[in-house]
């Protein structure tokens, strides 16, 4: 019959515990650093085994196309209005004094 999927058997569990104790007795992280320096190929192979080969990614995006079109039209209208406001104003030369053209902040209120 066997164990349920995902549950390690007793031997695998015991071996992992023994390896953990041996790792601690060998020096733990310091031991791994020494091994990485002495045997870089073996250390990198160990490291590669610890990194998952595949990464599962589930991304979903919900787009309301109708609302996106409404927003795009509103933005287009807003930009069009800004462009209209930016059009240069033409002034007839004979109706404005030169000083007003040069410095619009100076007024000739009489």
Q: How would you write the pLDDT of the chain (110 residues) with one tens digit per residue?
A: 566 777 768 888 899 899 999 999 999 999 999 999 999 999 999 888 888 877 788 888 888 888 889 999 999 888 887 776 666 666 665 555 555 555 555 555 55
Tokens of 33: 């650093």
**Spatial contact of 43 and 36, defined as CB atoms under 8 Å apart:** yes
Cα separation, 27 vs 25, whole angstroms: 5
Q: Does residue 36 lie in a domain region?
A: yes
Q: Give CA angle at 72 (66, 77), nearest 5°.
A: 130
Q: Does residue 69 lie in a domain region?
A: no
- Domain span at 46: 10-50
Query: Would you state the pLDDT for residue 33?
Result: 93
Q: Does residue 18 lie in a domain region?
A: yes
In this structure, the number of other CB atoms found within 10 A of the CB of residue 67 comes to 9
Q: Does residue 45 lie in a domain region?
A: yes
Counted domains in the chain: 1
Distance of CA 84 to the CA centre of its chain: 37
Q: Does residue 26 lie in a domain region?
A: yes
Q: Does residue 25 lie in a domain region?
A: yes
Q: Which residue has the tokens 């902040």?
A: 105
Instruction: Using only the alpha carbons of the chain, give its radius of gyration.
Output: 38
Cα separation, 29 vs 19, whole angstroms: 14
Run of H or E including 76: helix 65-86
Query: Would you state the pLDDT for residue 17?
Result: 92
């Amino acid at each position: 019959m066997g164990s349920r999927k995902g549950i390690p058997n007793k031997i695998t569990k015991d071996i992992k515990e023994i390896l953990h104790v041996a790792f601690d007795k060998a020096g733990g992280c310091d031991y791994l650093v020494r091994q990485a320096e002495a045997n870089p190929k073996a250390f990198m192979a160990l490291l590669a085994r610890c990194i998952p080969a595949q990464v599962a990614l589930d991304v979903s995006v919900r787009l309301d196309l109708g609302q996106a079109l409404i927003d795009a039209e509103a933005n287009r209208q807003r930009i069009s209005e800004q462009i209209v406001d930016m059009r240069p104003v033409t002034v007839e030369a004979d109706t404005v004094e030169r000083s007003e053209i040069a410095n619009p902040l100076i007024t000739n209120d009489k």
